[in-house]
Amino acid sequence: MSNNQLQIARRVASLTPSVTVAFTNRAKLMREKGLDVLGFAAGEPDFDTPDIIKQAAIDALKAGKTKYMPTPGDTASRAAIAKKFTEENGIPGCTPEHVIVSAGGKHSLFVACHCLLDQPKPGEPAQEVILPVPTWVSYAPIAELAGGKIVEVPTTVDSGFRMSPEQLRRAITPNSRLLILNSPSNPCGTMYTPEDLKAIGKVVEEAARTIAPNLLVLSDEIYEKIVYGGVKHFSIGSIPEIAERVITINGLSKAYSMTGWRIGYTGSSGAFGLAFTKAMAVLQGQMSTNITSFIYSSIPVALSKCADDVERMRLAFAERAELTNARLSKIPGVRNIKATGAFYAFPDVSAHFGKTSKGGAKINSALEFCEAILAENLVALVPGEDFGGCGKNHIRISFACSNEQINKGMDRLAEFVGGLK
Ligand code: PMP
Ligand code: GLU
């Protein structure tokens, strides 16, 4: 029986589904059906979570830590995260009360956006969210759902996908509320240098003093430990003049290979940071409360005892970045720059638009490219359209997999491209 009067709420019905999640799930389903699909879609390290982190959770579970916990997290985790933000990232005035743990960085981002952005009142302009693009597919939908209006700042391969301070200055208006930064970048694999970020910080500081007093920065640093191109990671929240305006998002998913655990956190500074963290706790307290009780014990362990594991994985990613770039640079019409951080290659494949695949598929977009190579050569990639801007000319390749898989996948990509007419 169907009733076409029944409808999903407009704000969700119009929400763009995550294309990264969609292609990852499709590849999984095809593999379950017995197809030899090579997955390069998931932004997920292939390593197992370090044993010492698992043991802490097992011990907590066995010790009966199975009850509700304080919404922002247990005391030990908040203290360990505040110490990390202070000592590793140089964020001034970040105390345990400036930290809240959420169910993954995506959840942190979601709750943070709802605490920082308002739906416009009738007749009032929307709050603007400045987003250098291409960027991770979830920022725009989440910020828009919270009431923000996205102002895209285009970047290109030629600028290393970096927004210049001048571009930022031009994008800022009296309605600017949030600047979202992500370095190292998903999907570009590139980074801002400390000098770039200091220059961006200066623009933020000037704008906040003059035309945009409500401007804040949301700095997503979830890939900070996966860097290998000679660029040092820098936290914009460490700049004292703007520290109180910066919310830093991070989590354990990528650095510690813990995507399924769902641990993300934010850190902030000063009086506004305290008010923000309290607001996050109020919203999260009406949403999901604490994260799974017995995984808190793993947070201080990961942050203080796993440097060797992080280094082992970092070195593997460095080698894979090298291999992926070497293989891509030999494929005609595929323009790539070598990643310096995270684990993504983001080559421009638009030279092939207008062609037809061996299987007869017309390739006029990144989406059609990815659909065809998945169907014909069993390689799962992510089309670049939803990353914004020039992303529509690009495909994302997550090289968080073995060298053997990278070589096999690049063989298939070369074969697919070779068959385009
Ligand atoms: N930020 C970026 C840039 C990401 O790529 C991801 C991966 N999904 C996240 C945040 C969130 O990761 P998680 O929710 O697993 O912590
Ligand atoms: N961040 C990862 C990716 O971009 C995981 C999937 C998601 O949450 O988007 O693939």
Per-residue pLDDT reduced to its tens digit, 40-69:
999 999 999 999 999 999 999 999 999 999
Say if residue 1's pLDDT is above 70. no
- Over range 152-156, report the average pLDDT: 97
- Over range 266-282, report the average pLDDT: 98
3-48+308-418: which CATH architecture?
Answer: Alpha-Beta Complex (3.90)
Dihedral sign from CA coordinates of 394, 395, 397, 398: positive
Say if residue 388's pLDDT is above 80. yes
Tell me what pLDDT residue 166 has. 98
Ligand 1: centre distance to CA 223 (Å):
9
Task: Give the ligand 2 atom nearest the CA of 137.
Answer: 9
* Probe target for ligand 2 pocket from 19, 108, 135, 136, with the most ligand atoms within 8 Å of CB: 136
Q: Which of 324, 341, 384, 395 is nearest to 133 (CA)?
A: 384
- Over range 214-225, report the average pLDDT: 98
The domain ranges of the chain are 3-48+308-418, 67-305
Contact, 237 vs 89, CB < 8 A? yes
- Over range 347-357, report the average pLDDT: 98
* Probe target for ligand 1 pocket from 136, 161, 248, 288, with the most ligand atoms within 8 Å of CB: 136
> What is the CATH topology of the domain spanning 67-305?
Aspartate Aminotransferase; domain 2 (3.40.640)
Is residue 122 reached through a cis peptide bond, with omega within 30 degrees of 0 on the bond before it? no
Is residue 184 reached through a cis peptide bond, with omega within 30 degrees of 0 on the bond before it? yes
User: What is the pTM (predicted TM-score) of this model?
Assistant: 0.97
